[in-house]
Amino acid sequence: MSSPATPLHRVPPHPRRIWIGFVLSQMIVAALWWWLGWRAGLPAMVLSHLSLFWGALWPQSRLYGPALSRLPVADKRVWLTIDDGPSGDTAAILDLLDAHGAKATFFLVGERAAARPDLVRAIAARGHGIGNHSQAHPSRWFWALGPRRMREEIAGGQAILRGITGQPPRWFRAVVGMANPFTVAPLREHGLSRVAWSARGFDAVAPDPATVVSRIERTLAPGAIVLMHEGAGHGRSVDAMALLLRRFDALGYGTLLPEALEGDPRSRARPVAAGAHAP
């Protein structure tokens, strides 16, 4: 399989680019204020600062470096991603994936991985991908972390997962999908590429699997990156995954890992035939 024209795994550029861009934008704001007065300068300043918040709060934003949100495939294959593990649901989800011939990337939290290393090894042994989803999953404040804490979250998760599997993750998913300028340096340092999504069902908070899957179907398309979770507090994560995989079967969708598009045959998943079902 030939590699895509644009590399999928893209680490952020040097962070100096972001800071140079910010300084230049504020110089433009100051010039407008000086030449045209506050009526032009104030709106320019507000817009420039709103763009910084938009870059942090919109998961698909590329303001703070590349963010992969879709794979370049034309057939019915998607990248299934599962956040927040490992958990008490991991073993059941692995069995479901096996039953449907599906592959997924598990974005794991470092501290949870350290508490359940056997599950991390089981994910890798069954041919699934493992990504970095921070060390402690600070969901409320990840978007606003400063440089030291951000580095600790990214580097800490990376070290734990590398120590368990022997391989450093290549992919990173920001907590709640939100990044900020301080994610750039540690991602670049550890060779991590940030992954967003294009289809989600809000399964971490929605307890009804049918609602979750219906939401995902609305934006399901070839190359979609599908966001799912495990270990949700409502206790229905396994049920939601089971229903989603059955719908993939019925709609003729298969799964793949991005490494398959980069020429690594070990990461290719068997396409799911239309109408297939779990035994």
pLDDT greater than 50 at residue 30: yes
Pick the more confident residue, 184 or 143. 184
Question: pLDDT tens-digit profile of 168-188?
Answer: 999 999 999 989 889 999 999
Task: Record the tokens describing residue 120, joined without a space.
Answer: 């991390």
pLDDT of residue 44: 59
pLDDT higher than threshold 60 for residue 266 = no
Examine residue 55 and state whether it is found in any structural domain, yes or no.
no
48 within a domain of the structure (yes/no):
no
More confident: 116 or 5: 116
Beta bridge partners of 131: 107
- Residue 71 domain-assigned (yes or no): yes
d(CA 179, CA 25): 20
Q: Which residues of 261-276 are buried (b: 16+ CB within 10 A; e: fewer)?
A: bbeeeebbbebbeeeb
Is the per-residue pLDDT at 273 higher than 50? no
Note whether residue 272 is domain-resident.
no
pLDDT of amino acid 274:
33
Q: How confident is the model at residue 28 (pLDDT cuts 50, 70, 90)?
A: confident
- Expressed as residue numbers, the domain containing 235 is 67-267
What is the model's pLDDT at position 218? Answer: 97
Query: Looking at residue 175, what is its pLDDT?
Result: 95
The pLDDT of residue 49 is 54
pLDDT score at 52: 61
Tokens read off for 73 = 């495939």
For residue 25, what are its two tokens?
Answer: 């934008």
Q: What is the pTM of this model?
A: 0.83
Q: Write the burial class of residue 217 (CB in 10 Å: 0-12 exposed, 13-18 middle, 19+ buried).
A: middle
* Residue 100 maps to a domain: yes
Residue 12: pLDDT band by 50, 70, 90 thresholds? confident
pLDDT score of 131:
98
SS3 state of residue 263: coil
Question: Does the pLDDT at position 133 exceed 70?
Answer: yes
Using 50, 70 and 90 to split pLDDT, how confident is the model at 35?
confident
Give me the CATH number covering residue 215.
3.20.20.370
In this predicted structure, what is the pLDDT of residue 251?
98
Predicted confidence (pLDDT) per residue in 229-255, tens digit: 999 999 999 999 999 999 999 999 999
Is 271's pLDDT higher than 50? no
Helical residues (DSSP H) of the chain, grouped into ranges: 16-36, 38-57, 90-99, 110-115, 117-125, 147-165, 184-189, 209-218, 237-251, 258-261
Per the domain annotation, does 200 fall within a domain?
yes
Higher pLDDT, 143 or 55: 143
Residue 26 covered by a domain: no
Q: Which residue has the higher pLDDT, 216 or 40?
A: 216
What's the mean per-residue pLDDT of the chain?
A: 86
Tell me what pLDDT residue 37 has.
78
Higher per-residue confidence, 7 vs 123? 123
Structure tokens at 46: 């507000």
Would you please indicate which residues are annotated as catalytic (active-site) residues? Answer: 83, 229
Q: Is residue 28 part of a domain?
A: no
User: What's the pLDDT tens digit per position in 60-100?
Assistant: 776 778 999 999 999 999 999 999 999 999 999 999 999 99
| Average pLDDT over every residue of 19-39 | 70
The tally of domains found in the chain comes to 1
